[in-house]
Amino acid sequence: MMKLDRGGWFNIRAIAPYAVALASVAAALAGSRWLDIHAVTAPVSLLLCAVMCCAWFGGFGPGVLASILSILAFKYYYAAPLHSLAADVKEIPRLFVFALSALFAGLLSAAQRSAAQSFRRARDDLAGSVQALEQSNTALRTENAERIRAEEALRNAQADLTRVARLTTMGELAASIAHEVNQPLMAVVTNADTCLRWLAKDPPDLDEAREAAKRTVGAGHRASDIIRTIRTLARKSTTEATRFDVNSAISDVLALTSGELQRNDVLLETELSAGLEPVSGDRGQIQQVVLNLTVNAIEAMTAEKHSPRVLRVSSRMAGQQNVLVAVADTGTGLDPTTADGIFDAFFTTKPDGIGMGLSICRSIVEAHGGRLWASPNSPQGSIFRFTVPPAGQRGRK
């Protein structure tokens, strides 16, 4: 219980509680004797107080020592025969009660001291845990902020890449787009010239001039629609959720590719079901999907010399849950050995391809709550299908 330091001397901190126990019992006994001398009932409770104090401040060992000393002092000074450690049979119950009280008081005080120390340790441990938790929380907030910045940078990179893919596809269709824009412009010039000739007659043929002017206005609106579609496809890819008609979006894209279809001797067949429910999403992004699938189909049919070359674009409701769009061709078809990887990023079968078109298309479709997949066409070629939920169904489980 008492420790020796390296020099062999008693450790002062170890023996100090026992010295305090001796001093406390001696002080209590002195107080009791002083009160006894002055004809006051001997307050043996002072000895119990000494035991409690020693157990509280010193712990179990000093408390036991104080209890033993208090019992001996009580027997010597207050239990017959006085001034002797011999026990009188009649005094044994009284001596026993005091000894039991002293031991109980000492043990109770020691237990309270241990509980208080345990509480302080628990409080210190809790404070340390709270501090560690605050540090972890700070680190977590920092990590979360970094993750948010990284996700934002990734979204910006994906948007830029999507736009590059759009512009690349439109660059391949530059001649077709120029042809589509040139047609209504030429119609504007022709109808305006016709209108002038009808007005120059004597007398002017106002009815014919009016019809020519109407045709001029219609051609102008057609050119405006084509430019709007081109601007929609060329703008920076930021999602703008609106309600729109899928068939109208498909028709605008097919108009841009009509020149490409004619140059490559591809027959276009469309089966766009009437009465489709409008969908909610980014019209430009859905048009990009249709444009990419259409260009891929044309390239698949012109890669080798074979006929017929038929591009079939259809739309219909797939139950009440989805609008289904299909782009089918009679080209070379899917290679079974690579079919599983055609939607992977940077996978391409084209010598000059970057392998991002179909990957971006799938990301766009999935972001709109649908899915994109491919399957063989009969008797030859391939079919790419994608679904988009109607505006009333999107977001439901």
Per-residue pLDDT reduced to its tens digit, 176-232: 566 566 667 777 777 788 888 888 888 888 888 888 788 888 778 777 766 776 666
CATH code: domain of residue 214:
1.10.287
Of 72, 107, 132, the domain-final residue: 132
pTM above 0.85, yes or no: no
Count of domains for the chain: 3
Res 3: pLDDT: 47
Q: Is residue 164 part of a domain?
A: no
CA distance 4 to 11: 5
Q: What pairing do the DSSP bridges indicate for beta strands 322-328 and 372-376? A: unpaired
50 has pLDDT over 80? no
CATH of the domain at 291: 3.30.565.10
Q: Are residues 339 and 378 in the same domain?
A: yes
- 306-330 pLDDT per residue, tens: 678 899 999 998 877 889 999 999 9
Tell which of 116, 132, 148 closes a domain: 132
Tokens encoding 356: 């991002």
- pLDDT of residue 290 exceeding 60, the answer is yes
Give the largest CA-CA distance in the chain.
158
Q: In sequence order, what are the beta bridge partners of 315?
A: 272, 325
Tell me the residue range of the domain where 200 lies: 173-235
Say if CB 314 and CB 188 are below 8 A apart: no
